[in-house]
């Protein structure tokens, strides 16, 4: 049997097709890393482009200040222009740009409204002007902490008011609204305290984004916690994972800025199609080409049973499939290191375990290997389908096309089954073949699915395809070939 498998592997690696596929795969990995490096803007924010200011100024020049509606539009446009110029002064990527566009807007609008209309009193103008001038001085002095402290003071005052209202309020509906406001304010307070404690300014960065993601996930969790359907549970778990992971990043002051690490962690979603192309093309041609070229006769005269010959071909295909995964992983490590550096791959994978409600760290290579093992049923089953079609129809084009159609149709079938609550789909292979959904207490696509059940379903489908292939191959007449 080993000799048969070795012969089949020699045949595969004598074909130009395998080398063309590997070269294309290598080229894609190289190009995608270079493109990501070239287009990486970090955590940049773009509040204004140079062209925006020119457009606004042109719009403003056409407005009539005598017309009340156009005057209001003039003030709004002037406000945008002044904010844009101020942003340009400090830079789109500065912490000042965030303060300008999120905190100064109402004050500048008040100043302009006083200058161009009579809707603002002198007292309001003086108050806004004082705040605006003080803010400029703080921004020039690189004092972002004063803005955080100011925001924290406002939050604490609001919390004090809300707690007082809660003590006297008896209406349940109003109480629910107060509690919701308190919940939101407490999260804002936590974010501001983290900013000061961990020295995270408003400037675009990994940790600044972690703070914003944490805040967004925590505020959304309150609304998502009562879900009963699988998709609602999945959404809740996703938010819970986001909140806990980003809290871990902040607590541990982790800045995970390496693109090499990100690409490697998502190796299978990034390059899954190429794994399938290699596996399916080889599997779809390994039997059909023998019949089309007439070499099957030379193979079957050897002192081996037909079943052994077919299984040797199948095992050879599986070996090539695993080798292609290893090849892609090694290429990404090498190319990613050359383009981005190796440092990112020294940081472990960080995951949230829903079973223990804790954040865990895993060696990054062990994590990718674990994901690969859990994704293997997808690749094995689709490759086996190509192998079976090659045996049944002895037509390479058909054998290659059918698995790809199945791969494309799988998400659509699953979504239709979810939409129309078709429980019978749980006995089909597509909701069961991605075992990575079960990792760390993850939520399966359909309620009631378990990893042992999914493994059993995948094994049954695999056995059916192999048995069918063996039966057909064993009975096939080769006299007229």
Is the predicted pLDDT of residue 481 greater than 70, yes or no?
A: no
Measured in residues, the chain has a length of 481
**pLDDT at 161 (0 to 100):** 95
Q: What is the pLDDT of residue 301?
A: 67
Q: What are phi and psi of 45, to 5 degrees?
A: -115, 140
Is 229 a residue whose pLDDT tops 60?
Answer: no
- Are the CB atoms for 310 and 470 separated by under 8 Å? yes
For a pLDDT cut of 90, what percent of the chain falls above it? Answer: 62
pLDDT of residue 419: 80
- CA atoms of 232 and 214, how far apart (whole Å): 19
Are 391 and 472 a contacting pair, CB within 8 Å?
A: yes
Residue 115, beta-bridge partner list: none
* Tokens 């003080």 -> residue: 134
pLDDT for 165-178, tens place per residue?
Answer: 998 888 889 898 99
Question: Could you read off the pLDDT of 293-305 as tens digits, one per residue?
Answer: 877 777 766 777 8
Query: Do 18 and 12 form a contact (C-beta atoms < 8 A)?
Result: yes
Nearest CA to 398 out of 409, 387, 407, 408 is that of 387
pLDDT of residue 478: 67
What pLDDT is stored for residue 264 in this prediction? Answer: 95
pLDDT at 43 over 80: no
d(CA 250, CA 448): 35
pLDDT of residue 213: 94
d(CA 60, CA 70): 9
Residue 313 has pLDDT above 80, yes or no: yes
Average pLDDT of the chain?
A: 90
CA 254 to the chain's CA centroid: 19
Closest CA to 462 of 435, 433, 436: 433
pLDDT digits (tens, 9 = 90+) for 338-390: 999 998 899 999 999 999 999 999 999 999 999 999 999 999 999 999 999 99
Confidence at residue 45, expressed as pLDDT on a 0 to 100 scale: 73
pLDDT of 49 strictly over 90: no
For 50-99, the pLDDT digits (tens) are: 677 778 888 877 888 788 888 888 898 899 889 998 998 999 889 999 99
Whose structure tokens read 């609602």?
232
Q: Decide if pLDDT at 480 tops 60.
A: no
Query: What is residue 226's predicted lDDT score, i.e. its pLDDT?
Result: 56
Q: What is the pTM of this model?
A: 0.86
CA nearest neighbour of 329 among 369, 283, 278: 369
Over residues 385-417, the pLDDT tens digits come to 999 999 998 899 999 999 999 999 999 988 888
In the 8-state DSSP scheme, what is residue 302? S
User: Is-contact 242 217, C-beta < 8 A?
Assistant: yes
Long-range contacts: 397-400, Cβ < 8 Å, 24+? 399/283, 399/284, 399/285, 399/288, 400/280, 400/281, 400/284, 400/285
Q: CB-based burial of residue 457 (10 Å sphere; 0-12 exposed, 13-18 middle, 19+ buried)?
A: buried
Element holding 38 (H helix, E strand):
helix 16-39
Contact status, residue 417 vs residue 473, Cβ threshold 8 Å: no
């Amino acid at each position: 049997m080993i000799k048969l498998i070795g012969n089949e592997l020699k045949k595969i690696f004598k074909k130009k097709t395998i080398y063309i596929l590997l070269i294309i795969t290598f080229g894609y990995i190289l190009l995608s890393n270079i493109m990501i490096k070239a287009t990486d803007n970090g955590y940049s924010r773009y509040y204004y482009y140079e062209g925006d200011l020119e457009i606004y100024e042109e719009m403003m020049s056409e407005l009539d200040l005598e017309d009340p509606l156009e005057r209001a539009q003039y003030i709004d446009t002037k406000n945008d222009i002044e904010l844009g110029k101020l942003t340009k002064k400090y830079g789109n990527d500065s912490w000042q740009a965030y303060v300008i566009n999120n905190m100064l807007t109402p004050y500048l609008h008040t100043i302009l409204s006083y200058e161009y209309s009579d809707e603002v009193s002198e007292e309001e103008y003086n108050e806004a002007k004082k705040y605006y001038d003080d803010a400029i001085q703080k921004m020039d002095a690189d004092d972002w902490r004063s803005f955080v402290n100011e925001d924290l003071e406002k939050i604490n005052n609001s919390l004090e008011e809300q707690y007082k209202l809660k003590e006297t309020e008896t209406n349940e509906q109003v109480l629910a609204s107060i509690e919701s406001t308190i919940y939101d304010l407490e999260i804002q307070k936590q974010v501001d305290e983290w900013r000061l404690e961990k020295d995270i300014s408003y400037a675009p960065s990994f940790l600044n984004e972690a703070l914003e993601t944490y805040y967004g996930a925590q505020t959304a969790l309150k609304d998502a916690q009562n879900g009963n359907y699988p998709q609602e549970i999945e959404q809740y778990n996703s938010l819970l994972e986001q909140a806990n992971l980003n809290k871990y990043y902040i607590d541990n002051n982790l800045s995970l800025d390496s693109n090499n690490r990100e690409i490697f962690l998502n190796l299978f979603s990034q390059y899954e199609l190429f794994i399938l192309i290699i596996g399916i093309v080889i599997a779809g041609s390994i039997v059909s080409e023998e019949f089309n070229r007439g070499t099957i006769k030379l193979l079957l005269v050897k002192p081996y049973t037909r079943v052994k010959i077919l299984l040797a071909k199948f095992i050879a295909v599986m070996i090539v499939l695993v080798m292609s995964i290893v090849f892609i992983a090694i290429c990404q490590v090498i190319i990613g290191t050359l383009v981005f550096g190796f440092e990112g791959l020294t940081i472990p994978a960080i995951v949230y375990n829903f079973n223990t409600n804790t954040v865990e760290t895993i060696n990054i290579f062990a994590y990718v290997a674990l994901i690969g093992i859990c994704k293997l049923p997808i690749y094995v089953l689709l490759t086996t389908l190509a192998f079976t079609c090659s045996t049944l129809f002895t037509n390479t084009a058909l054998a290659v096309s059918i698995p790809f159609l199945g791969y494309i149709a799988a998400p659509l079938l699953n979504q239709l089954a979810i939409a129309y609550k078709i429980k019978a789909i749980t006995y089909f292979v597509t909701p069961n073949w991605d075992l990575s959904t079960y990792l760390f207490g993850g939520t399966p696509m359909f309620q009631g699915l378990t990893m042992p059940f999914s493994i059993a379903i995948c094994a049954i489908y695999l056995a059916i395809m192999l048995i069918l292939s063996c039966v057909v191959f064993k009975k096939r007449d080769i006299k007229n070939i």
